């Protein structure tokens, strides 16, 4: 029995909605949830040493700590890549505007999709969506884009995109084109899904463009707190993973400065999900000149 253990499980619990820590076990060929493993074995800290339960062998403890450090290192590497890409876009397009949105597939389509089948679908749909998107007239107004793979609360992955427009004065027509592209891709595959937008500007109202499924219909909505039609307020709910990807920064990320925008990129980096195998967890388009 260890003495003088300082228990700070609250900090550990905080990881659930702020980090996605998985590593791919090559032996079992599956993703291991490090937060779940830490939560199960963690007892506290004493004299600066992390204490695990007695049922956790010293070898397994060392493995968990080592792969957690490695996972965090990869997150920071992903963050640096997102940040560097962001500033590279702005060097070529200093007046760029941007929107961010998430694309999800209903796991109950085709009876019930297993995690493995869903993983394969997401990879295929990411390719189909980007290829179809590039054929749109809208794409001529796009300077660049990137996507990251995130993980829903129930363990299923989904896609999150950030588009950079050449100019900041885009409007709702962009959202309508994106919606049409995504749902056409789903329809051709016999699938159902949804889309969530996380931006509100003068010409682009995300709550009115989010569409599809239980999550899509209810994640963003308008309410009237004073029973006055002229004082409706727009609220943006969390992403499919339960996280606030904007960290309360602003409903219009086009109005925040670059240093603050880095916090948004940092949040995305912490939540990136890496699927088993050699699948990509983020993708970047070429930056147009």
Widest Cα–Cα separation across the chain: 67
| Range 282-287 average pLDDT | 95
Confidence of residue 10 (pLDDT cuts 50, 70, 90): low
Record the pTM.
0.84
Pull the structure tokens for residue 277: 């195998």
Query: Does the pLDDT of residue 245 top 80, yes or no?
Result: no
Pull the structure tokens for residue 221: 């909505």
Residues facing 25 on adjacent strands: 30
SS3 assignment, position 222 = strand
| pLDDT tens per residue, range 17-64 | 688 888 777 666 677 888 888 888 877 777 777 788 888 888 888 888
Query: Does the pLDDT of residue 4 top 50, yes or no?
Result: no
Q: Identify the pLDDT of residue 220.
A: 45
Nearest to 86 by CA among 33, 8, 145, 15: 145
Query: Does the pLDDT of residue 92 top 90, yes or no?
Result: yes
| Range 256-263 average pLDDT | 79
| pLDDT tens per residue, range 179-221 | 999 999 999 998 889 998 888 777 887 777 888 754 444 444 4
């Amino acid at each position: 029995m260890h003495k003088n253990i300082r228990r700070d499980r609250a900090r550990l619990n905080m990881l659930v909605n702020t980090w996605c820590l998985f590593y791919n076990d090559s032996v079992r060929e599956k993703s291991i949830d490090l937060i779940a493993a830490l939560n199960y074995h963690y007892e506290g800290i004493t004299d600066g040493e992390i204490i695990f339960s007695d049922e956790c062998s010293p070898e397994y403890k060392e493995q968990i700590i080592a792969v957690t450090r490695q996972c965090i290192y990869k997150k920071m590497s992903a963050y640096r890549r997102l940040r560097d890409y962001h500033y590279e876009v702005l060097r070529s397009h200093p007046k760029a505007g941007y929107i961010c949105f998430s694309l999800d597939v209903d796991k109950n389509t085709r009876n019930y999709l297993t995690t493995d089948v869903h993983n394969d679908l997401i990879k295929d749909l990411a390719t189909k969506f980007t290829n179809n998107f590039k054929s749109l007239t809208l794409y001529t107004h796009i300077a660049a884009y990137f996507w990251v793979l995130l993980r829903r609360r129930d363990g299923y992955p989904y896609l999150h995109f950030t588009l950079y427009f050449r100019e900041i004065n885009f409007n709702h027509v962009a959202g309508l084109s994106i919606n049409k592209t995504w749902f056409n891709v789903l329809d051709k595959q016999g699938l159902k899904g949804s889309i969530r937008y996380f931006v509100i500007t003068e010409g682009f109202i995300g709550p009115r463009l989010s569409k599809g499924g239980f999550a899509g219909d209810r994640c963003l909505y308008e309410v009237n707190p004073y029973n006055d039609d002229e004082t409706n307020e727009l609220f943006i709910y969390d992403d499919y993973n339960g996280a606030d990807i904007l960290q309360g920064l602003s409903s219009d990320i086009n109005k925040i400065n670059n240093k603050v925008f880095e916090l948004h990129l940092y949040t995305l980096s912490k939540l990136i999900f890496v699927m088993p195998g050699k699948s990509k967890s983020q993708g970047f388009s070429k930056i147009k000149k």
